[in-house]
Amino acid sequence: MNESTMSKKKRYYRWLRISIHSSLVLVCGSAAILLGRLYYEKGGKSKWMGTLVQLAGFPIQLPFHFISAPKNLTTNSSIHPKQSSASILAFIYVSIGLLLALDCYLYSVGLWYLPVSTYSLICSSQLAFNAFFSYFLNSLKFTPYIINSLVLLTISATLLVFQNESSSSDDDDSDSTQVSKKKYVIGFICTVGASAGYGLWLSLTQLVFKKVIKRETFKVVLDMILYTSLVATLATLVGLFASGEWSGLKNEMKEYELGKASYLLNLTFTAILWQVFTIGCLGLIREVSSLFSNAISALGVPIVPMLAVVFFHDKMDGIKGISMVLAIWGIISYVYQQYLDDTKSENRNTSHVPKASSPIEEVHR
């Protein structure tokens, strides 16, 4: 009876942690996107600054790096006798960091050119790209639910190609609210490219953990995010100065419609929210898996468009509504497949693992 009670308590606290991390991902991710759009809406013009705020807040995660695991568990060489060399890890961190910088820049360009609701709906395609790249890099099996998700998310994103044509025909004179067809196409391509890059980034990270690092403890995952974020931040700073956008930041702050204080607060809180979002993702990776973390982040798809209608007066017409329904359906299909996989994994572990699990097993779960 005591073992059963303890097991129920563990399960309860585990799902409580998952709920908290999921809330952080959904709330902070949605708020960060809206603040990013507010920056552009009120006079912000620097795409590199929009990129920098997605990355530069990574030092917030440093305390988690030092308290992530007890020393006696992370320094046990008998568990992982073959550690990856420093040069290999450095190459991996630099390569993935540069990919991350490019990805965040494309997201920034997409958010600059597109209505935030359209941008958010296109971003849901990252799940489809993640599954696509995982099929080739991580031997992901295409189940009926995964295929259904891929088809729905592809149709959802494709419908938005026609969104600008229908909206511009309704109101040709509202230049302040409608983007030109050329800018819409650029924003669409950049956002799709960013979603593809994000899916590739997740698949490559999973491949590195499996084939190179050969472990996925919380500390190792945090190392990956911290070092790649450092590389991506440095690359973004190079882009900011090389593009010449840095010279216009002072005037941009002066001309910001909400004032200098609001300008600084917007950038600061955007950076903080993205890092809290990342902390929530890390928690989900630790408690469940990276795929589950990605699926939860995609659940913000219906949240952002509805908030965009309220705060930015985005139009929610028939095409965008159908796109949102298809995206939600595709995400639910993807999450359900993840649920089935986790259930099978738990049943397999229950049938093969002894009742008394060691602390090491708890760390690697």
Report CA 26 to chain centroid distance, whole Å: 10
For residue 165, what pLDDT is reported?
52
Task: Convert the pLDDT of each residue in 174-204 to its tens digit.
Answer: 444 455 888 889 999 999 999 999 889 888 8
Of 34, 44, 27, residue with least CA distance to 254: 44
Instruction: Report residue 75's pLDDT band, with 50, 70 and 90 as the boundaries.
Output: very low
Instruction: Report residue 53's pLDDT band, with 50, 70 and 90 as the boundaries.
Output: very high
Between 36-50, 152-166, 211-225, the lowest mean confidence (pLDDT) is in: 152-166
For residue 346, what pLDDT is reported?
66
For 70, other C-beta atoms within 10 Å of its C-beta total 10
Mean pLDDT computed over every residue of the chain: 81
Instruction: Report residue 313's pLDDT band, with 50, 70 and 90 as the boundaries.
Output: confident
For residue 167, what pLDDT is reported?
54
pLDDT for residue 89 is more than 70: yes
Instruction: Report residue 315's pLDDT band, with 50, 70 and 90 as the boundaries.
Output: confident
Task: Convert the pLDDT of each residue in 99-118 to its tens digit.
Answer: 999 999 999 999 999 988 88
Q: How far apart are CA 87 and CA 194, in angstroms?
A: 28
Q: How far apart are CA 151 and CA 330, in angstroms?
A: 8
Identify which has the larger pLDDT, 251 or 13.
251
Q: Is the dihedral of CA 152, 158, 160, 165 positive or negative?
A: negative
What is the pLDDT averaged over residues 195-215? 86
- Own/partner pairs, 342-348, CB within 8 angstroms, 24+ separation: 342/288, 342/289, 342/292
Of 208, 195, 189, 192, residue with least CA distance to 96: 208
For residue 363, what pLDDT is reported?
33
Written as six digits, the tokens of 74 are 């992370």
For residue 323, what pLDDT is reported?
87
Q: How far apart are CA 192 and CA 198, in angstroms?
A: 10
For residue 321, what pLDDT is reported?
86
Please give the model's pTM, rounded to 2 decimal places.
0.82
- Own/partner pairs, 166-175, CB within 8 angstroms, 24+ separation: 166/317, 166/319, 167/315, 167/317
Q: How far apart are CA 99 and CA 127, in angstroms?
A: 18
pLDDT for residue 173 is more than 70: no
Q: What is the DSSP string of 165-192?
A: HHHHHH-SS-TTT---HHHHHHHHHHHH
Q: What is the DSSP string of 109-164?
A: HHHHHS-HHHHHHHHTTHHHHHHHHHHHHS-----HHHHHHHHHHHHHHHHGGGHH
What is the pLDDT averaged over residues 227-233? 95
Instruction: Report residue 350's pLDDT band, with 50, 70 and 90 as the boundaries.
Output: low
State the number of CA atoms in the 13 A half-sphere of 26 facing the CB. 14
Instruction: Report residue 246's pLDDT band, with 50, 70 and 90 as the boundaries.
Output: very high
Of 346, 321, 279, 338, residue with least CA distance to 141: 338
Q: How far apart are CA 37 and CA 58, in angstroms?
A: 21
pLDDT for residue 58 is more than 50: yes
Identify which has the larger pLDDT, 152 or 177.
152
For residue 4, what pLDDT is reported?
73
